[in-house]
Amino acid sequence: MASSAPMTLPEKILALKAKKAHVRPGEIVEVPVDVAMAHEACAQLIRPFEQMGATEVWDRNKIVIPIDHWVPASSEASAKLHHSIRKFVEKHGLPHFYDIGNHGICHQILVEEGFVLPGDMVTGTDSHTNMAGALGAFAVGIGPTEQAAVFATGDIWLKVPETIKVEVTGTLEFPVSGKDIILEALRQLTTEGGAYKAIEFGGSAIEKLEMYQRFTLSNMTTELGAKAGVIPADGEAIRYLESLPEIKNGRKAHVRDHADLRADKGAKYEKVVTIDGDRLEPLVACPMSPDNVHPVKSTDSGRVDQVFIGSCTNARLEDLRVAASILKGNKVKKGTRLVVFPASTRIYMQALREGIIETITEAGGSFNTASCGACFGGMGGVLDEGEVCVSTSNRNFPGRMGHIKSKSYLVSPATAAVTAIEGKLTDPREFLSGNEARRLAQFAVSGKR
């Protein structure tokens, strides 16, 4: 596609969708939506959808409704919420409904079930919809009223954001992971540094990163305040997509259509942040903000009451393999609780086949149904006053996981698993030798020892 000036990757995706040769930061564009997702917030969009006079959705096949927060319903209020969603789905004949028994965290459902391809425009009623950008898409979280308009029309207006480039050089040495990259980006940029910006990742370390870790990066661009987080759809992304059992809506033949989208040479970035992957170490975001980042080795959390391994950030199969491999033959420290929530039913089933559930349970942990779980302080691991949690989630603001005076530390799955054993925040490098770490890194991806 010819353009009059060099563009960043996020700008090129928006230009593609708007059918324009060029877009510039600050410009308002109207673009068609390829995928529109709503989780429990679907219940909140029903009224505005009807108030605007809509009688049917614009395209049944492009709407995805997963139930993921209260799974199964934990109260009369959540049961009522789910009931209203089921009635809306039935009324409009929506085929992509992920109800109890075939459920998962909404962002995982989008990328695991084959809804997102490179170059897509994705909207979702959750701020971490950014996660789908790891597949070379422009994915944004929006409110239920705006999503109601998308459900009715299939279009969205967007202001083209400025782009921040995060360049990660070198090679990560496990147990350093994608979680540590995004925590370092938060340390440098803060939770306000990416406000209504698009974050574009690149560099040799990103090119070597597996998809499960790339999803962690794009997911937590939300904590930077970003509108979107995008990673070019290279060979790793295409292999991931082509390995999926199904690409939805008959688009299997179109996986590679926009896989060549890259930033233009000379593209103008609002800022460039460089991270040296060779020197990166396990990091932790301390209370009470995701940008309060320090090395794990120099951080004292005191006694840890709970370890939470889960959320849309770090509950993929590979994350669970890492945790289970570290826990195997060990026990969770007395006085520390370990709660584990997989990101989807598909992951739950594979964890069952691989013995991951058995390993975690034998170690003294609790393995739960696929859902957001303890992440949002709604169910499955709520914290009391003064309790300390080490979590693989994305947020640790006051009251996020329960009592406003509880504390949450954000880490990688490897750090979380070792912490569960030690009962205090622990650098996983103290637990894993170099050879063990390399074997574990390979096992995480292949499932083969």
pLDDT digits (tens, 9 = 90+) for 286-318: 999 999 999 999 999 999 999 999 999 999 999
Q: Which of 178, 165, 39 is nearest to 108 (CA)?
A: 39
* pLDDT given for residue 4 in this prediction: 73
The owner of tokens 């600050």 is: 26
Query: For 246-303, where are the E strands, in sequence order?
Result: 271-276, 283-285, 293-295
Q: How far is CA 25 from the centre of its chain?
A: 25
| Residue 53 DSSP one-character state | T
10 Å CB burial of residue 414 (0-12, 13-18, 19+) is: buried
* pLDDT given for residue 146 in this prediction: 97
**The two structure tokens encoding residue 294:** 């320090």
Query: How would residue 2 be classed by pLDDT, with cut points 50, 70 and 90?
Result: very low
The owner of tokens 């209504």 is: 196
Percentage with pLDDT > 90 across the chain = 93
Q: Which of 190, 164, 192 is nearest to 272 (CA)?
A: 164
Alpha carbons 181 and 14: distance in angstroms, whole number: 26
pLDDT in tens, 140-181: 999 999 999 999 999 999 999 999 999 999 999 999 999 999
DSSP track, 338-397: EEE--SBHHHHHHHHHTTHHHHHHHTT-EE--SS-GGGGTSSSSPBPTT-EEEESSS---
Query: How would residue 440 be classed by pLDDT, with cut points 50, 70 and 90?
Result: confident
pLDDT in tens, 186-225: 999 999 999 999 999 999 999 999 999 999 999 999 999 9
* pLDDT given for residue 1 in this prediction: 43
**φ, ψ for residue 296, nearest 5 deg:** -60, -40
pLDDT in tens, 409-418: 999 999 999 9
Average predicted confidence (pLDDT) for the chain: 96
Residue type, 309: I
* 184-193, 220-229, 261-270, 431-440, range with the lowest pLDDT: 431-440
Alpha carbons 136 and 147: distance in angstroms, whole number: 22
- pLDDT (mean) for 369-391: 93
* pLDDT given for residue 351 in this prediction: 97
pLDDT in tens, 46-99: 999 999 999 999 999 999 999 999 999 999 999 999 999 999 999 999 999 999
10 Å CB burial of residue 51 (0-12, 13-18, 19+) is: exposed
Class of domain 9-276: alpha beta
The answer to whether 9-276 and 283-446 have equal CATH topology is yes
Query: In residues, how long is the chain?
Result: 449
C-alpha dihedral sign at 318, 321, 326, 327: positive
* pLDDT given for residue 442 in this prediction: 86
Class of domain 283-446: alpha beta
- pLDDT (mean) for 10-26: 97
**φ, ψ for residue 111, nearest 5 deg:** -90, -20
Residue ranges of domains in the chain: 9-276, 283-446
Residue type, 211: M
Query: How would residue 3 be classed by pLDDT, with cut points 50, 70 and 90?
Result: very low
- pLDDT (mean) for 94-122: 97
